[in-house]
Amino acid sequence: MTLTLTLTVNGERREVPLDDARPTLLDVLRERIGLTGTKKGCDRGQCGACTVLVDGRRMNACLTLAMSVDGAEITTIEGLAENGALHPVQAAFVENDAFQCGFCTPGQIMSAVGLIAEGEAGDDPERIREGMSGNLCRCAAYPGIAKAVADAQKRLADNERKSA
Amino acid sequence: MNLFDYVRPTSVAEAVTAAASADAAYLAGGTNLLDLMKGGVRHPGRLVDITKLPGLDAVETLADGSIRIGALVKNADLARDPTLLAAAPAVAEALLSGASAQLRNAASVGGNVMQRTRCAYFYDPESACNRREPGSGCDARGGDTRGQAILGWSDACIATHPSDFCVPLAALDAVVEVAGVDGSRDLAFDALHNLPGDDPSDETALRPGELITAIRLPAEVRRFAPNARYLKVRERTSYAFALVSAAAALDIADGVVSEARLTLGAVAAKPWRAHAAETALVGRPVTAETAREAAEAALADARPSGDNADKIVLATRVLARAITLAAAGTPERMPALPGSVFAAVPAQTATGAIHG
Amino acid sequence: MAETLQFPTGHVRLGSNAGQPITRRDGALKVTGAATYAADNRPDGLLYAVYAASSIARGRVTHLDVAAAKAHPGVVEVMTTANRPPLARDPDAKVHMFSWRLEALQDDRVRYAGQPVAVVIASTLEAATEGARLLAPRYESEAPRTGLDDGEAFAPEAVGVGAPPSFDKGDVEAGLEAAAHRVETQYETPAQYHNALEPHAIVAAWEGDHLTVDVPNQAIAIARNDFASFFGIPPENVTLRSPFIGGGFGSKAILNGPQILCILAARMTGQPVKLVLTRQQMFGPVGHRGATRQALRIGTDADGRLTALEHRASAMTSRFDDFLEPAANASQNIYATPAMRQIHTGVRADIGTPGPMRAPGEASGSAALECAMDEAAEALGIDPLEFRLINYAETDPASGKPFSSKALRQCYAEGAKRFGWAGRPLAPRQMRDDAGHLVGWGVGTAMFPAPMFQAKARAVVREDGSGLVEISAVEMGQGALTALAQIAADGLGIDQDRLEFRAGNSELPDGGVAGGSGHTATAGSAIFAAGSDAIRKLADIATEDEASPLFGAGNAGVVARGGRLYRADDETRSASYSDIMARAGLAEIEGEGTGARNPANAEDYAMFSHGAVFAEVKVDPELCQIRVSRLVGAFAAGRIINPRLAESQLTGGMIWGIGFALHEETVLDPRTGRPVNGDFAGYHIPVNADAPSVEALLVGEDDPYVNALGVKGVGEIGITGTVGAIANAVRHATGVRVGRFPIHIGALLG
């Protein structure tokens, strides 16, 4: 049996042949498509390193059977920067030293993008910390992460106000 | 993960037909099923992907005022649904206290209530587990029992049900809508999950192949909205299963409880509705003393299933606290740390308003 | 602190780039997903290897269903003890101080749960994973020993990596006898696992007799030699690439069995093979912090001065190897006492061998010591900070040597001020917040050695005035690519934007070990020396060139800065590097340098980083859930190369302290020896919401003796002091002293 999975990844339509339905979205992205920015930290929904946006919502790619999101739009860390300019969340992570080893960072950033889009945390540090608690960071860059998310949220809100 | 057939039905009727074979499993959010398959705990021969079934992803108010929640509504969407927030704020608080934002975006309502125990011995295919493999024994007995049951357990199984969402659902007398090859039926939420008894593998009242299509909250749950809380004690501030949790929903008139709905979580193989405690509160004002007395009534039959006697102490205190928090009023806005001991809602800001 | 520090060779100065809080040079790579970690490599023809792990802790493998695994679609090969290709080195040999005995299918014995017992190689990860499950090993099992109480005690020859197992100074018994107050107490610390977010991973490829491995590694040169010796090839036939490590914390400094198995799989199949451990497999063959039980006896006189300090530690290790957490040694160099004794006992059990994990010994030992010190202060009725000041060590208590530098007094003062320690009630259970939670404050002293190892580096000045520095240094999150580049730029007297910095590859000069908090000091010294060497050569050329504005200045009379050489006596006379080289017709000038401690300074001084950590906890009085609401640490660690990165290292270490104090613990089922909580759902590490307020202050320190750069280290000290501070704060909040880490809710329920 061969299956064909169709995804739009970072704006690009992809058809991925699969031998069987077992691969997760994470393993399709990393091992079939070659987008290795998304990381595997636990493969069981316990760390958040594999966070991507599926139709605009943050999800753990490791617990998403790829076939179950057939037809979806996926945004990964590779699709965030536009025309070579860092996304405000990416820039805020650099400025606030919101990472050390960098392994959890793509997941943190995609989670932060999702959190800001949800629009419920605002700039409340406690809500940001809670909202980012599904992303483990063993280097424990948490203070920087919380600051970066608050900064980026503010920057994105300002941009929105200006363009409105 | 074993090889399996993958089918994607387009209607509920097709789905229940596709799932009629003994080794089929429904796939919705997958947050529990894929975890179990990766761990070698489950080996379905067929996955029936219901994620694209139409008509199961809405929250609606029915003519009788009851609230119907489609089984495919995502936990995150339900938690921010205005109808639910207004009618049953403790359900939202419970949802938001569970797992992580990513998992809540994936996990469905039906999948949440059908999730399996997190007992480490159930999760370990090398351990004996009557729930996973009937008749194999229970390695949890005599093992690490800190998280295990203190109510309703049997010699065959001491596991607990891990859901936060189910705890207020049990308190609010939710109804489960179920579809099968022989048609649809309603189940009382309290009748959905089974206590282990002699055969803990018989986990729910669902017949083989039956599919949960919706959960209904009766119209009357709105009575409790001004005084409804969920409280969850855990070893980590967030992203952790409960040691013990409790939902408390009170109907208070003239300073006296006219009706109480109380359920404990993580203490038994199902959400543990505390009827004795409810009765104990009725007709009394909520004070530290009446809350404690009610909680003690709830745990009167508790007994340790191993080295976990302190869980009885904790459960008593958690329920008492949930009662006093509910009596203080549902906070105006969802706490920054939902369900947390550190929810940071000082008593004076609790207005009795519902979550906005 | 001096703004610039002159290096002995004179031409270049630290301070133009070093000391600046620049953002990470690899920042853009890491936030865009472009930084490549080992498992991200996908060479053509790649196969996937997954190993089956033993579910018993002691016994033999009696059967594997190889046929079932091979029958699974996509499975290419199954490697077992029966067909595993030979190795040139015995996996059970101890070849050097940093070689651990490892399992590479050398026999059918099982020594701990989670040991690899066979490897399945397949064309997809899914097929390899299912193939490994289908092997369904059967065993002849023996009852395991798993704990401090049922293990087999022994007297070790060494603890840690080659440290003496005991130490004595003065007469401890007499000191205790004469004491006005005595405290005898005991603390236990559990097995903890490094659990870097990046699981151990390797991609191995053979081309004839040349092996290329992509593998995260903290000790590149050592690992290259070890891989070579396992496969009987010269070290130059091994290329090890480790450009980015997704967290190491010690576990990636030691070779492990799965790495050897992956290389064997590549040899067996003739194709490149990737092997990545699952999170569950991280609780087996890749080291951990061994459990300890520590007993302390402290005597004080009526004024609170120590009369004796005794610290005994039982530390667990495996049945087949000897690493012991040197916990008691944490008491040797910290508080002034006329008499001290440290003694270690080993306990063998059927577990994987422990290894160094962030602050090995110091973390566990400091946790117990700082709690015991608080117990002593409480017995005296003295404020715990004041008690530590009374016993401040002006010289190293163990050796009597002066400290090369020690700004601990300033750390106590600045940390206490920032935290608001003054006015802390002496008795427990005195403070509450608005929500009714108990509030407690605690303090702990942080301390960590400032070692140096050996490193070499190469520096080049190019004709366009840019620079290149090469060293097999290791970026594992500590910021080596940034901080070392800052030192490198100063070494070459150029702006860091003009520097190309190459690291993380075995083809480069040996950068030594990224461990022991000594990497910046060691590799940085080598880099700075290499740059200085190149600039010395450049200065020679310029000052001997009659056409140069620097002619006649004499080699010692020029200073390098911003890509130019200046006459020291007349800075209006200068020449750019590119002009000097163009006139000399040179494309590049190369320098070499080494980094190591000056042996005379090592003989004369005790060298440590210091700090003081203050913790505030909130505890629900009935439900007993704990939250660390505030942490303030003040640290003195010599010259800080990049304050932004140093703060991140320190706050990260402090949050490890939260995990140690409240969360981290591996529970083994004593009947099977298997972890009950061997994944991230069960083995808790702190999440973002666990660290609402964590702050690290940097206290200046000018140390002319540690090395020419004045650099100590900040990688590990953050966890020391913090664990005790939190436990002491819990005691202060609740009145309960918990003798076992982590402090669980159950221990406070009463």
Edge-to-edge strand ranges of the sheet holding C438-449: C431-432, C438-449, C608-619, C626-636, C694-698
Counting the structural domains of chain A, the total is 2
Question: What CATH number does the domain located at B5-50 have?
Answer: 3.30.43.10
Q: Which of A39, A90, A104 minimises the CB distance to C32?
A: A90
Say if the Cβ atoms of B240 and C435 lie within 8 Å: no
Q: Is the pLDDT of residue B353 over 60?
A: no
pLDDT of A118 higher than 50 = yes
Nearest Cα to Cα of residue A131 among C707, B99, C391: B99
B143 touches chain C (CB under 8 A): yes
Answer yes or no: is C149 within a domain: no
Residue written as token pair 């194709």:
C271
Contact A37 C692 (CB under 8 A): no
Q: Distance, in angstroms, between A121 CA and closest chain C CA?
A: 13
C226 pLDDT higher than 80: yes
Residue C629 and residue C657 share a domain:
yes
Is the CB of C245 less than 8 angstroms away from the CB of A81?
no
Mean pLDDT, chain C, whole residue set? 96
Q: Check CB contact under 8 Å for C197 and A143.
A: no
CATH number of the domain that C439 lies in? 3.30.365.10
Q: Which residues on chain C are in Cβ contact (under 8 Å) with A46?
A: 279, 679-681
**Could A60 and B27 be called an inter-chain contact, meaning their C-beta atoms sit closer than 8 Å?**
no
- Which whole-number Å values give the CA distances from B76 to A3, A131, B108, C212, in the listed order? 31, 12, 9, 46
Given a contact cutoff of 8 angstroms between Cβ atoms, the answer to whether B26 and B53 are in contact is: no
What is residue A27's DSSP assignment? H
Per residue in C146-179, pLDDT (tens digit) is: 999 999 999 999 999 999 999 999 999 999 999 9
The model's pLDDT over A50-60, given as tens digits with 9 standing for 90+, comes to 999 999 999 99
- Can you give the three-state secondary structure of C443-511, one letter per residue? EEEEEEECCCCCEEEEEEEECCCCEEEECCCCCCCCCHHHHHHHHHHHHHCCCHHHEEEECCECCCCCC
Domain boundaries, chain B: 5-50, 224-349
Contact B76 A57 (CB under 8 A): yes
Residues 6+ apart with CB under 8 A from C287: C100, C194, C250, C251, C254, C256, C352, C353, C354, C355, C356, C357
Give the mutation candidate from B7, B10, B102 for the A interface (greatest A CB count, under 10 A).
B102
Closest residue of chain C to A76, computed from CA coordinates: C33
Closest-approach residue (CA) in chain A for C716: A139
CA B200 to CA C51: how far, in whole Å?
A: 32
Quick one: closest CA in C to B119, which residue?
A: C676
Question: Do residues C220 and C505 lie in contact, with contact meaning Cβ atoms separated by under 8 Å?
Answer: yes
C562/C694 same-domain check: no
Of B149-158, C43-52, C61-70, C544-553, least confident by mean pLDDT is: C544-553
The range of the structural domain enclosing residue C88 comes to 38-142+213-221+239-278
Residue C423's SS3 state is: coil
Q: What's the pLDDT at C658?
A: 98
- Best of C126, C138, C276, C623 to disrupt the B interface by mutation (most B CBs within 10 Å)? C623
Contact (CB<8Å) A68/B30: yes
Q: Is A31 close to C645, i.e. CB distance below 8 A?
A: no
How many Å apart are CA C203 and CA C209, to the nearest integer?
16
List the structure tokens of C386. 């004041």
Q: Per the CB < 8 Å rule, is A126 touching B344?
A: yes
| Total structural domains within chain C | 3
State the Cα–Cα distance between residues B69 and B62, nearest whole angstrom.
10
* CB pair distance less than 8 Å for B337 and C689: yes
The answer to whether B341 contacts C625, with C-beta atoms less than 8 Å apart, is yes
Q: Is residue C683 part of a domain?
A: yes
Determine the residue among B105, B333, B340 to mutate to test chain A binding: the one whose Cβ has the most chain A Cβ atoms within 10 Å: B105
The CATH number linked to A73 is 3.10.20.30
In this structure, what are the phi and psi dihedrals at residue B269, rounded to the nearest 5 degrees?
A: -75, -5
Say if residue C730 is in the same domain as residue C620.
yes
Q: For residue C520, which amino acid is it? A: T
- Average model confidence (pLDDT) across chain B: 96
Nearest CA-CA partner of B188 in B210, B165, B205: B205
Q: C600: buried, middle or exposed (CB in 10 Å: 19+, 13-18, 0-12)?
A: exposed
Arithmetic mean of pLDDT, B260-285? 98
How many CA within 13 A on the CB side of residue B196? 28
Q: Which residues of chain A have a CB within 8 Å of the CB of C196?
A: 101, 103, 138
Full DSSP string of B248-301: EEEEEETTEEEEEEEEEESSSSS-EE-HHHHHHHTTS---HHHHHHHHHHHTTT
Strand B59-61 to C570-576 pairing? unpaired
φ and ψ at residue C610, rounded to 5 degrees: -135, 165
Q: Tell whether C298 and C414 lie within a shared domain.
A: yes
Average pLDDT for residues C117-143, to the nearest whole number?
Answer: 98
Share of chain A above pLDDT 90, in %: 94
Asked whether residue C267 falls in the same domain as residue C125, the answer is: yes
Residue whose tokens read 């102490």 = B313
| Measured distance CA(A146)–CA(A124) in Å, rounded | 10
Q: What is the pLDDT of residues B109-165, one digit of tens each?
A: 999 999 999 999 999 999 999 999 999 999 999 999 999 999 999 999 999 999 999
Same domain, C619 and C648: yes
Is residue C321 domain-resident? yes
Question: Which of C29, C476, C651 shows the shortest C-beta gap to A101?
Answer: C476
Residues C416 and C542 in one domain: no
Q: What is the pLDDT of residues C737-749, one digit of tens each?
A: 999 999 999 999 9
Which pLDDT score is estimated for C12? 76
Burial of B333 (0-12, 13-18, 19+ CB in 10 A): exposed
| Residue C186, domain member (yes or no) | no
Cα distances from C498 to residues B188, C492, C576, in angstroms, run 72, 10, 13
User: Which residues in chain A are closer than 8 Å to B31, comparing Cβ atoms?
Assistant: 45, 60, 63
Asked if residue C461 belongs to a domain, the reply is no
Cα–Cα distances in Å, from C265 out to A139, C117, C315?
32, 14, 36
Residue C532 lies in a domain: yes
Burial C217-242 (b: 16+ CB within 10 A, else e): bbbbbbbbbbbbbbbebeeebbbbbb
Structure tokens at C195: 């659990």
Closest alpha carbon within chain C to B243: C745
The answer to the question of residue C587 being in a domain is yes
Q: Does the beta-carbon distance from A129 to C688 stay under 8 Å?
A: yes
* Among B283, B243, B281, CA closest to B262: B281
Give the tokens for residue B239: 């992203």
What pLDDT shows up at residue B349?
37
Chain A: touching chains (3 or more CB pairs < 8 Å):
B, C
Mean pLDDT calculated for residue range B90-105 = 98
Do C403 and C544 belong together in one domain?
Answer: no
Distance from CA of C650 to the nearest CA of A (A): 10
- C297 and C427 co-located in one domain: yes
pLDDT at B67 over 70: yes
Nearest to C314 by CA among C360, C354, C351, C348: C348
Nearest chain A CA: its distance from C186 CA (Å): 29
Chain C contact set for A80 (CB, 8 A)? 32
Do A113 and A69 lie in one domain? The reply is: no
What's the CA gap between A159 and A157, in Å, rounded? Answer: 5
Residues 6+ apart with CB under 8 A from C6: C13
Q: What is the ipTM of this complex?
A: 0.99
C441-477 pLDDT per residue, tens? 999 999 999 999 999 999 999 999 999 999 999 999 9
A58·B102 Cβ contact <8 A:
yes
Residue A1: pLDDT band with limits 50, 70, 90: low
Chain A interface, best mutation among B4, B100, B103, B238, by max A CB count within 10 A: B100
Given a contact cutoff of 8 angstroms between Cβ atoms, the answer to whether C457 and C469 are in contact is yes
Give me C61's structure tokens.
């493998």
Q: What percent of chain C has pLDDT over 90?
A: 97
Is the pLDDT confidence value at C4 over 70?
A: no
Same domain as C610, residue C590: no
The CATH number for A128's domain is 1.10.150.120
Which range of residues forms the domain containing residue A20? 3-79
Under 8 Å between Cβ of C705 and C405: yes
Which subunits have 3 or more CB–CB pairs within 8 Å of chain C? A, B
Contacts of B336 in chain A (CB under 8 A): 124, 126-127, 130
Q: How far apart are CA C135 and CA C138, in angstroms?
A: 9
For residues C343 and C425, state if they share a domain: yes
Taking CA–CA distances from A50, the nearest residue in chain B reads: B102
From C277's Cα to the closest Cα of chain B, the distance in A is 14
Asked if pLDDT for residue A78 goes beyond 90, the answer is yes
* Distance from the Cα of residue C11 to its chain's centroid: 33
- Beta bridge partners, C241, equal C214, C505
Tally B–C CB contacts below 8 A.
Answer: 86
Residue A93 shares a structural domain with residue A156? yes
**Which residues of C are identified as catalytic?**
716
* Residue C430: both structure tokens together: 């005195």
Quick one: average pLDDT of A79-96? Answer: 96
* In a shared domain, residues A9 and A67: yes
Q: Which chains are adjacent to chain B, needing at least 3 Cβ pairs under 8 Å?
A: A, C
Whether residues A49 and A106 share a domain: the answer is no
Six-digit token string for C507: 């083809």
Domain end position, chosen among A18, A51, A79: A79
Cross-chain Cβ contact C681/B127 below 8 Å: no
CA distance C30 to C28: 5
- C29: pLDDT strictly greater than 50: yes
Give the Å distances, CA to CA, from C418 to C614, C632, C653, C694: 9, 7, 19, 12
Which residues from C are below 8 Å from B when comparing CB atoms? 55, 73, 126, 129-130, 133, 434-435, 437, 618, 620, 622-625, 627, 662-663, 667, 669, 671-672, 674, 676-677, 681-682, 684, 686-690, 744-746, 749
From chain C, pick out residues whose CB is under 8 angstroms from the CB of A94: 23-24, 27-28, 31
SS (H, E, C) C591-624: EEEEECCCHHHHHHCECEEEEEEEEEEEECCCCC
Query: pLDDT-derived band of residue B344, with 50, 70 and 90 as boundaries?
Result: low
Task: Clarify whether residues A7 and A75 are in a common domain.
Answer: yes
- d(CA B37, CA B32) in angstroms, rounded, equals 9
The Cα of C132 is separated from the nearest Cα of chain B by a number of Å equal to: 10
Question: Which residue does chain B place closest to A71, by CA atoms?
Answer: B52
Interface test with A, best of C22, C31, C481, C650 (most A CBs within 10 A): C31
CATH architecture for the domain at B224-349: 2-Layer Sandwich (3.30)
Q: Check C688 against B238: CB less than 8 A apart.
A: yes
Tokens at C276, concatenated: 């990545």
Average pLDDT over residues C707-736: 98
What pLDDT is recorded for position C10?
60
Q: In angstroms, rounded to a whole number, what is the distance separating the alpha carbons of residues C331 and B124?
A: 41
Considering the domain architecture, whether residues C252 and C357 belong to the same structural domain is answered as no
